[in-house]
Structure 1
Amino acid sequence: MRQLSVKRVRGARAAGAGVGGGSGAWTAGAGGGSDAYAPDGEVSTYLHAQVREGSRLRLSAPYGDLVLDDRTGGATDATPLLLASAGIGVTPMIAMLEHLAGTGHPAPVTVVHADRSPADHPLRADHLAYTGKLPDAAAHFWYEHPEPGYPADRTGRVDLAGIAVAPGTRAYLCGPVPFMKAVRGQLIAKGVAPADIHYEVFGPDLWRASPMSSGPVGEATTSSTVTGSSEA
């Protein structure tokens, strides 16, 4: 996932969504961006209430490491993939799906997403559209508060018990820490190698997941990202 730090300055004070006076994290997807609205967040509320087309923003250079392997995609790539997200963590998954659809990825792609409701699901139409363009892909969405008649086994927390995970699957996870821990554990139980589970924190846990900082070179910021691959 590639992110941008968005800085709002009031007088001499820089305001942000992180701890202290820093920068809010804004995820740059394929040709656009997504921001998780937080009612008590100064930068988030500013973006949603005041920023319009044509507005000028002070941004950092992109940062973040949740990206597809350079070898992934194309008509000869036989690597099965699983893309699991929650909330605004869907943003990098949309970019990945667009790439896979554009390059004709032929191997199985399992798409998993968790959210409060269909109405709260960011980029839901794109999620379905790109999944539908792949020759061997299936989308599985879980909602805490689904519409009437929604399948009971897709209500509540993600449960992969009924989802087939192909041998050799490479998984990409993005969302709050509890969500990723739960999905990671289920994937390992299904035989996915820990080293093949790649992840990045995004959402409310972004700010408390690590004391490390990440952001524009030469600027102090409290915006932080935890990235990596599971090794154990």
Structure 2
Amino acid sequence: MTKVLLIDDDVDLTMLLQEYLTEDGFQVTATEDGRTAIAQAAANAVDIIVLDIMMPRMNGIDVLQRIRRLSPVPVLMLTAKGDDVDRIAGLNLGADDYVSKPCSPGELAARLRAILRRSGASGAGTVQDGLRAGELVMHPGTRVAEWRGQPLELTGTEFSLLEVLARHAGQLVSKQDISKHVFGRPLMAFDRRIDVHVSSVRQKLGMREDGQSWIQSVRGHGYQLLQDR
């Protein structure tokens, strides 16, 4: 049973989400203390964390930042509707996705399952042959990646995004196709989560010898992973 840690100080919403997710087959622990999330992540005690941004004492951004120093556990952020600043900050710090409040329990459950599928945390999948694109080697079955012979630390979402680009190395992949493969849904207008995740992956890959990024963008169309020169 998938272990979910829900951190939110909205008691009524928390009770509603906890009841729905439990009935939907998740094992849910709820708290309003961000320090609990940090401790649980450090102990590898949960499979996924649902983290509200607006909390007393320690806000969700600070909690996420500390979690990412300790663990790659998938994190779904709960954000205020229309608050792009918090959304982008969360994605930049390694959140896998976000849901705007108020949200329906059904939507939250669907997002959790999508994150777990692409992170490999659901326990499904077997070891597969590696996918190679130049000096990048990816193992989709184990969700392990290597770059230039060294381990490449990626979140579940970053792995899925880079995998799509690696399978089409040297070719342009549209944002719409990336959204469908990575997030399991069509790209919505003004949705910047792909751009933010690409920016994070670019930093982890570093620059080419010619000074270009390994991931090139075509404004308004999509991205491509460059092949070796």
Q: Would the TM-score normalized by the shorter structure come out above 0.5?
A: no
Q: Which has the higher helix share?
A: 2
Greater RCO between the two (CA within 8 Å, min separation 6)?
1
TM range (shorter): under 0.3
What TM-score do the two structures reach when normalised by structure 2?
Answer: 0.28
